[in-house]
Structure formats: C-alpha cells, structure tokens
Amino acid sequence: MQQDPSWSSQAWGSGGENDSPPAPQPAQQAAPQPTTGQPAASQPQHQPAPQAQAAQQPAQHYGAPASCPPQPVFAAPQPAYAPAPQPAKKRGWIVALVAVVLAFLLIGGAMASCASVFSTAGSLAAVSSSGVYGDTIAVIDIDGTIQYDGSACSPEGLKTLLDQASDDPDIKGLVLRVNSGGGTATAGEEMAEYVKDFDKPVVVSSASMNASAAYEISSQADFIYTAKTTAIGSIGTALEVTDLSGLLEKLGISIDVIASADSKDSSYGYRPLSEEEQAYYQNMVDAINGTFIANVAEGRGMAEDEVRKLATGLTFTGMEAVENGLADDIGTREDAIAKAAELAGISDYDVYDMGESSYDLSGLLGLLSSEQSQDNHPLNAKEWDLHANTLS
C-alpha cells in the first residue's frame, strides 16, 4: 500500500523528496522527544514548512500524547497553592531576634556611656570646684551641731572642702556661713585649726546662732559679721553626768557594775559622783576651756584675760559682740562675700556654694544637743569617751 507523502511529512517531518519515511515508532519511544527538546536521531534536521507544522498539531496531540510536555502545564500552578517555604520564616524570626538583641545592646551601651560621662564630669567637678572659672568667692555652710558626722560640721568634711578651695586657683576667698550652737569640744578645736591654717582670706557670716564650738571655729577667720539679733559667743565648756540612782531605787532596780577601777563607772549614772571624781572632772573641764579661751584670744587678737572675762558660757547679741570685740561688724551674707573679695583684692567675681547641709535623724538629734549646749545642759557622756564628748 502506498502512503501519502504529505501525511508522512505532517506526522514525522521530511528532509526532502528522496528521504524515505522512517518506520513508524510506538508512542512510548516518542515520549523522550519533548523532554530533551531535540529531534530523534533518525529524524532529518530539516524542519517542515509552517503549513505542515500547523497541520501536524492534531496528530501530535492525539496520536502522540507523550510529545506534549505535561510537566510545565501542571507544575506552573503549584507555587500559587503551595505554602511559603518554612526556612524563610525561620530566618525572618532569627533576623528579628538579632535586631532586638542589638537594639538592647546599643541602649545599654548608651546608658553606660552616659553614666561614665556623668561620673567623669562629677570627678572633674570635684577637682575644678564644679566648673568654677575666673575669680570666685566660695561659701561653705556650717549649719548644725559640731560633731564627727562627715558633713561640713565635722573636721573631716570641713577639711575636704577647705582643701578643694585651696587647690582651686580661681577661688580667691572664702565665706563661712555659720548657724550652729556648738557641739563636741575636740571637733571644734580641730576645725578651728583647719580654718587658721587656710591660705586664703576667710570671712564669717553669722546667722541666728554662732555659739560655743562654732564660735571657736569662727574666731580664726579674718573678719566676723553678725546680725544684730544673732546669739554669739557662749565661750565655755560643760560636762554632764546624770545620776539615776534615786529613780532606780524607787523602781526597785539594782544594777551591779563590775569595773577595773572604782571610777570607771562614774559617768554611767547608776550612782552619784564622789568628791574626788567631781574634782577630777572639774579640772578636765577647766583645761578644755583654757584651750578654748586661748584659741579665741589668738584668733581675735585679744589678751587671754580679756577673753576669760567674756567666757561666762552665755551668748551675746550681735550688737554686744561688736562692742566687746567678739565680732567686727553688723552685716549680712552679702556683706561677708563683698568683704572676702575686698581682702582677696578682686572686684569682679562669682559666688560659688561649695555644699549644702543634709538633714536626717542624726542631724535632728544634733540640733537638740546644740540647744542643750546653749542652755548649759550638754549631752550625757555615758557610753562615749568623756573627753571627746565634752561640749563647748
């Protein structure tokens, strides 16, 4: 049977008139053709004309289904229905977590840097008197009981402030703003020594009270201002020992003290003092008060006998103090600052407060003890060293 050449060309392609059509192959063997995209080895390389290609499509669709590439047809819609790949989500969470951690690290680093800056600024402030530039008059407040508490009312606190003022070349003079009724005799003695040794002009501005140990400190200044109504002076020393033996007897309380010496418990208050003990403590008070008088006489440029006449333990008004030589003039805090600048030889200057007093329970107790000192009723010396707590 003779085959139609046109049908052969449409079904298998034709390389020319002399080419004989190849033997028909099963559909299973034609399947690899679309996969490789190349014609079979037995096919000629010459492609049919466009008309022949259009005619052969039905034969390829129905007669050779393997020649149609099914994979792209069914694979293309898969991404539309398939969920997003899981690894991408994991990487997204990791990136977010790393970003959060980095943010916290940056914030922590910034806070640490700020803290370091503030700490460094504070250190520099201590060295340079907190940014004092140019001629300056410094002011130190001595407000409260003279004692050992680390504040400006203590030897340690005042010495620290005085050293800072001395080391700062821009501070030309100092004003002590005093508002104190006194305190521990030894602390007052030490602080008076520090003020006397200070190498720049010192002027005192007296507030409502400048008495006892506080006045001993003030007496070492170059000039003392007082208000007319200031309670100033109270040169004297006191030591209080309370006798509770009568009360304990009424309450039926008996206390036995085992001591290494007969007078070791003399200040405990469980028994009255003997005559010998009273004489001993009187001599101690007189010796301490002699040091007080000598310091005031040296600081004020007065004779000790003259100061001793004023050492009645009582305060004077500011006006009386100016008359008897315990103060130099009536004036305010601003007058004291101007005087310090005059003594320092400067006319254009700034004013710098070197510290504020702090108030707490110990400060309130100190105020009570200072009032007792003013009324000649000093703190009981029980459980403390008598000499250290003798009040001036």
User: Which residues 6+ apart lie within 8 Å of 21 measured at CB?
Assistant: 3, 5, 8, 12, 14
- Which residues are paired to 290 by β-bridges? none
Reply yes or no on whether 154 is catalytic. no
Q: Do residues 226 and 250 lie in contact, with contact meaning Cβ atoms separated by under 8 Å?
A: no
Residue 379, by phi and psi: left (phi above 0), alpha (psi -120 to 50) or beta? beta
Q: Rounded to an integer, what is the distance from CA 187 to the centroid of its chain?
A: 29
Three-class DSSP category at 392 = coil
Which residue in 151, 180, 212, 370 is the catalytic one?
A: 212
Which is nearest to 137 in space by CA: 179, 163, 180, 168? Answer: 168
CA dist 283 and 263 (Å) reads 15
Reply yes or no on whether 130 is catalytic. no
Which residue in 228, 264, 274, 309 is the catalytic one?
A: 264
358-366 long-range Cβ contacts below 8 angstroms, 24+ apart: 358/151, 359/144, 362/149, 363/144, 363/145, 363/149, 366/144, 366/145, 366/147, 366/149, 366/153, 366/183
Three-class DSSP category at 251 = coil
Q: Do residues 243 and 217 lie in contact, with contact meaning Cβ atoms separated by under 8 Å?
A: no
Query: If you ran DSSP here, which 8-state letter would residue 146 be given?
Result: B
The radius of gyration of the chain's CA atoms, rounded to the nearest angstrom, is 52
Determine phi and psi for 276, rounding to 5 degrees.
-65, -40
The residues carrying an active-site annotation are 212, 264
